[in-house]
A and B are shown apart, each in its own frame.
Chain A
């Protein structure tokens, strides 16, 4: 019953600085951080205090409103600091590595023979649960739900995204073990979406339905894939897991150790030595970027954990996000652009645009762009129409949905399909927007309201 899906709407932004397929062992970071804001909606209840020692896999904090869900340390060491922000919100839980490489023991005996409850318990105890996210709302899954099915996107189509075919190569066993675990969680199907010529680790996966998806970004967004395979309705819940995280789950099952290794792609026009760096979740970004940045005179760099469309600006001293396997370094665009030289009335051969008002569409597709972080304009009301629709492969009216989100109109949001989307699906809309509307932010807020009022 595997499906073949062809996505027609979308946009591939061809940026400079794609990672070469070379693996470099990143130096061992001194500190690691697990950042509660990565888990949207989770209010952490700390389990360890500052100064206490932890092992890799020790529980750091729990979800205050769902105490079953544990968030664990990626490394052994001591809890160095709990960094708080406004209203004492916990921003970062920082662990200083001690280099001892001690692991919590995880009981993996006969996990696959257990029932659904047993497997859930294993994932919760091992700290693997946060890898599972739910749709709608796009937050960490609630263990009490029974998902209709589970979706894994086997490729990332974001600009400069790491190539899963490369990072998962040779991890056939781990990946399969991860899928076997997930299959235990649902009475429905585990869907794995791959590109045409995927690596054997993905292509050869069993115990799941493999669908082939082609087309421009956002073809790799799991939300787009769900929409085209079996659109989500009000009241239904599906779970999603990153393909790389499936392998981490599988590895934990096979070895009994929580060792969340990531191959992190260093990308973007502000970086050099674009390669894959092996490190752990929560590592300092600087172990990857130190000595690998390239900035022009007078231009500073922005360090993004994740990709340029949906990632987080973590700063040079920041930490890798929990779900991220990419660090993008982009030149900051905090400079003025003279209107006829490179500003709004220039010929525009140096500017990238999806609109035909810039000559981008007449230039060869292979041209690579070094885009900076300038907003390229000011925020305005919606004026131009049918702009979002060109990059939004859903049977949903994106502008109308964003408008409903802005005014908190729950009724209309439900009617217009808020349950089927996640903020990342609006990243391209936000990118192409003439009026510079922060639609990802609006959709995130809307989903929070829906979560509070309707779930």
Chain B
């Protein structure tokens, strides 16, 4: 019985096992670096910023003195920008996804659009800022306004939304389309009444995630000149504005320690906002997953 194992080189095998074990440990360590970094980041920010997380932060405008300085205009600016860009990017993003998945013929043009979308997703965000500066701020003379910022961010998140919506639409089984067509539904009836209701939770999840990407973006808005010091609330879409990450950047670039604490507390607000959005996206996904 034991004979068949005899010619095995036990030493060699033990060596290979040891190698496996050593690298296993190394892989675990590498993986935990990401986790440790995240923990360090969160703790660092909480330690610095919790003290400043007072009601003042939400009710006061920014000021030259760190004491009593707040981020009311930034918070409101972020919310306004979300409210403007969410519907615009939803309509264009989902429209494009429906076109590509349901209508487009498999041809050169479609491949080109698809390639273009995946390439756009890799363009640095600051390049979108340059486009926004030239197109919306200068050419369309929207100046450094809320609408110019929202449109720039819309262009930035469109590729993300399109890709997510395409995936959601593709996940709707073909049998559901067949069933609808077999009842004599037209293409648009099938898409709007049968495919989209099933795809909607997935689409919305993608839209929320794209929005959470947008509210954390700083560079493109710096480019189009979202002002760093705004001590008023925008009254219309053509007013100038600021958003949370820009306010944080402003505080961060001041040398005094008090402003650094303000920046940390601003980051806490930003992260909580992001967490809420991501959490709702996950809830949405889990709730409707069974119906796909």
Q: Do A and B bind each other?
A: no
Residue positions of A touching B, CB distance < 8 A: none
